[in-house]
Amino acid sequence: MRPSTLIALVTLCLIGFAPPGLAAPALSIGYTTKMVERRDTKCPADADAFHCPHITFKYPVIERAPQRSAAAAINQAVMDFLLTSIGEPRKYKSIDAAMTEFMQGYQEYKQLPGATSGYWEERTVTVRYQSDRIVSLNFEVSFFTGGLHPQYASVFTSFNAATGAKIRLADVLVPGYGPRLTRIAENKFRTAKGIKPGMTLHDAGYIFFKNDTFALNDNFWIGPKGITFFYNPYEIASYAMGTTELLLTYGEIRDLIKPSGLLGYVQ
C-alpha cells in the first residue's frame, strides 16, 4: 500500500519549551493516555511484539480543555483515526470491532502458503505540543500484514485549543503566503539535503515531486520553534530514503505570520 493512501486515512511527549524570547506556554488541555491491545492467544510468553500477531492502540483521552466542545472535537478526531479501516473507506463501530476484525484477518492470513509469524498493526496518537492556544497531535500507524517490509506513516494535525477546530496554514499566515513560504522551504530543504545549486530534485533522489518541482504538503504541525512539515516514505522519495522533517522557524517566517492569528504573539 502506498503511503498516500495511509495519509488520506490518517488525515506522551509534552514539549514544555518556547521560541526564543517567549515564556513557556501555559498548558491548554489535560488528558490521560490509554492503551488497548489484543494478541494472538497462542503467542509464547517471551515472544517479541514483531513476531506475535497483535493490534495495539495507544492514544490520549482529553479530559480537560478550555471548552467541552474543544475536548469533544479533539477526542472525535482521535477516534476517527483509530476506527478508520486501512485500505478501505469505512469506519468500525468500536475499538473492539476493529480489533476483532484484525485478528480474524490474521486467522485467514496464516492459512496462506508462505505466511510468516509477523502480523501486526499499531496505531499511536501523541500530544506533540500544546500551549494555551494550540494543541498539536501526531497520528502514527504502522503495520505488517505480509509483503517485503512493514508500512508506516505519520500525519500531524494542530487544533485551536479553545474550539477544537483544525488549524489551516491560512489561519495563521497572511494572505498570499504560498509562493514565499515555498521558496523559504525549498532553500532550507536543499541545504539540509546537500543538494547543490543546479542539481534537480530528481537527480538528488527525490523522485516523487510532481514535475520535479518542490512543494510543501499539508502534513504539518505547529510547535514551540515553528511550523514543521513532514514527508512520509514514498511521498517524495523511495522507502529506503525514509522520512523528511522540515522545520521552518518563527524567525524564518516572521513576516508571513498573521498578526491577528493564533501565532500573532510571536511577532
pLDDT of residue 10: 46
- The mean pLDDT value of the chain amounts to 89
The CATH number of the structural domain formed by 169-267 is: 3.90.640.20
Interior CA angle at 1 toward 213 and 44, to 5°? 135
Q: Residue 50: pLDDT band by 50, 70, 90 thresholds?
A: confident
Query: Is the distance from CB of 33 to CB of 57 less than 8 angstroms?
Result: no
Query: Is the distance from CB of 245 to CB of 229 less than 8 angstroms?
Result: yes
Kindly state the average pLDDT of the residues 258-267: 90
Q: What is the pLDDT of residues 54-76, one digit of tens each?
A: 999 999 999 999 999 999 999 99
Q: Which long-range contacts (CB under 8 A, 24 or more apart) does 35-39 make?
A: 36/95, 36/99, 38/99, 38/100, 38/102, 38/103
Where exactly are the structural domains of the chain? 1-167, 169-267
Q: What is the pLDDT of residues 3-22, one digit of tens each?
A: 444 444 444 333 333 344 44
Report d(CA 119, CA 107) in Å as an integer: 10
The CATH number of the structural domain formed by 1-167 is: 3.30.565.40
Kindly state the average pLDDT of the residues 228-255: 96
pLDDT of residue 255: 96
Report d(CA 172, CA 131) in Å as an integer: 15
Q: Is-same-fold flag (1-167; 169-267)?
A: no
Report d(CA 257, CA 6) in Å as an integer: 30
Global pTM exceeds 0.75: yes
